[in-house]
Amino acid sequence: MTPTNTTLRKALVLTAGSRTITFDSRPFIMGVLNVTPDSFSDGGAFLTVAQAVRHARQMQDEGADIIDLGAESSRPGAPPIEEGEELNRLMPVLEAVRQAVSLPLSIDTTKAAVARRAIEAGASIVNDVTALRGDPKMAGLVAETGVAVVLMHMQGTPPTMQRAPHYGNVVDEVCAFLRERIQTALDAGIQASQIILDPGFGFGKLQEHNLRLLAEFDAFTRLGHPVLVGVSRKQFIGNLVDRPVHERGYGTAGAVAVAVLKGAHVLRVHDVRAMKDTASVVSAISRHMRSSVEVPNA
Ligand code: HH2
């Protein structure tokens, strides 16, 4: 019998502090909770503790598996903020969300001091868009605490990254970067089972780069770690559907469907229910595809 994707897909186990997450056939949904005044999509919407808790509960009820809290925007052109300001925005919300939901919490930060406080308050994943390059203490913190870490590709930094991104072969270059960051993490004492990868949609990428990364997304899932995809409501989808941020749900679903078909493990999304349904349908179909659909001449 010709093997299907179910028989071919290897289960990956992620260790995240005291939690163990097994990725087998279905992608996990990471719901975004930004406690920022200026995030590109939900900036200002969940600034009070009560609003943030309500939204976290709603995402849990809608089927989220993880909640990603961020207190500093990384949208193109976003100015960096001070550690004190980030902690002031984050900690009251994180502590209240920790009480209100039972899901693993991820902290979207580039600062080790912020990540440490978040881990002490119960976060078990550090989502570092600089892939451990932004703060020399971050790798040691992840190694010491045993939490999971997202290593994301970015060319440049948020204030300047969309000015003139350039690549020879974007997929090869992003893969090479991720391999190098995995090695740096391992050298710092982080276990392979703590690592999640992310090609970084929109982070120093032109339209054609984002589309190539999605079209060849399986290049990242072959690197041997769970792979996160963050396409939700982003500009490259807006460019295709010509719609403002809050009307990009169907466009996002199209991109999510391709990523799921190509083996994505974690979907970082704003619209939990819609993307969970999209992922459920696509991953069920993909389990019935012959392997030859994905690997033509195998
Ligand atoms: N995208 C954003 C923020 N954090 N983290 C990962 N790992 N991957 C992503 O693609 C990613 C991310 C940007 O989206 P959002 O959080 O909605 O906006 P902002 O950065 O303006 O807060």
What are 225-280's pLDDT values in tens digits? 999 999 999 999 999 999 999 999 999 999 999 999 999 999 999 999 999 999 99
Please tell me the predicted confidence (pLDDT) of residue 6. Answer: 43
Rounded to an integer, what distance in angstroms lies between the CA atom of residue 255 and that of residue 202?
13
Please tell me the predicted confidence (pLDDT) of residue 3. Answer: 47
Determine if ligand 1 sits within 6 Å of the CB of residue 228: yes
Judge whether 268 counts as a catalytic residue. Answer: yes
Rounded to an integer, what distance in angstroms lies between the CA atom of residue 242 and that of residue 162?
19
Please tell me the predicted confidence (pLDDT) of residue 12. Answer: 93
Please tell me the predicted confidence (pLDDT) of residue 259. Answer: 98
CB atoms within 10 A of CB 84: 10
In sequence order, which residues have a C-beta less than 8 Å from that of residue 157 and are 6 or more positions away?
A: none
Rounded to an integer, what distance in angstroms lies between the CA atom of residue 216 and that of residue 298?
17
Nearest to 91 by CA among 59, 64, 117, 63: 117
Please tell me the predicted confidence (pLDDT) of residue 7. Answer: 41
Give residue 297 CA to ligand 1 midpoint distance, Å: 36
* Domain regions of the chain by residue span: 12-291
Sheet order of strands, 195-198 included: 195-198, 148-152, 125-128, 105-108, 66-70, 28-34, 266-269, 228-229
Nearest to 18 by CA among 182, 192, 145: 145
Residue scoring higher pLDDT (44 or 187) = 187
Give residue 1 CA to ligand 1 midpoint distance, Å: 42
Torsion sign over Cα 238, 263, 125, 176: negative
Mean pLDDT (whole number) for 80-100: 95
Please tell me the predicted confidence (pLDDT) of residue 1. Answer: 42
Residue scoring higher pLDDT (141 or 38) = 141
Mean pLDDT (whole number) for 105-118: 98
Determine if ligand 1 sits within 6 Å of the CB of residue 210: no
Q: Which two tokens mark 222?
A: 């072959």
In angstroms, the Cα distances linking 208 to 165, 211, 226 are 11, 5, 24
Judge whether 234 counts as a catalytic residue. Answer: yes
- Per the CB < 8 A criterion, the answer to whether 52 and 93 are in contact is yes
Report residue 2's pLDDT band, with 50, 70 and 90 as the boundaries. very low
Rounded to an integer, what distance in angstroms lies between the CA atom of residue 166 and that of residue 173?
11
Report residue 294's pLDDT band, with 50, 70 and 90 as the boundaries. very low
Determine if ligand 1 sits within 6 Å of the CB of residue 129: yes
pLDDT digit string, tens, across residues 163-212: 889 999 999 999 999 999 999 999 999 999 999 999 999 999 999 999 99
Please tell me the predicted confidence (pLDDT) of residue 295. Answer: 39
pLDDT digit string, tens, across residues 117-160: 999 999 999 999 999 999 999 999 999 999 999 999 999 888 88
- Per the CB < 8 A criterion, the answer to whether 169 and 202 are in contact is no
State what percent of residues in the chain have pLDDT above 90. 82
DSSP 289: S
At residue 292, does pLDDT exceed 60? Answer: no
Residue scoring higher pLDDT (298 or 125) = 125
Report residue 78's pLDDT band, with 50, 70 and 90 as the boundaries. confident
At residue 53, does pLDDT exceed 70? Answer: yes
State what percent of residues in the chain have pLDDT above 70. 94
CATH code at 12-291: 3.20.20.20
Please tell me the predicted confidence (pLDDT) of residue 291. Answer: 61
Q: Which of 234, 248, 262, 276 is catalytic?
A: 234
Q: Which of 9, 75, 268, 276 is catalytic?
A: 268
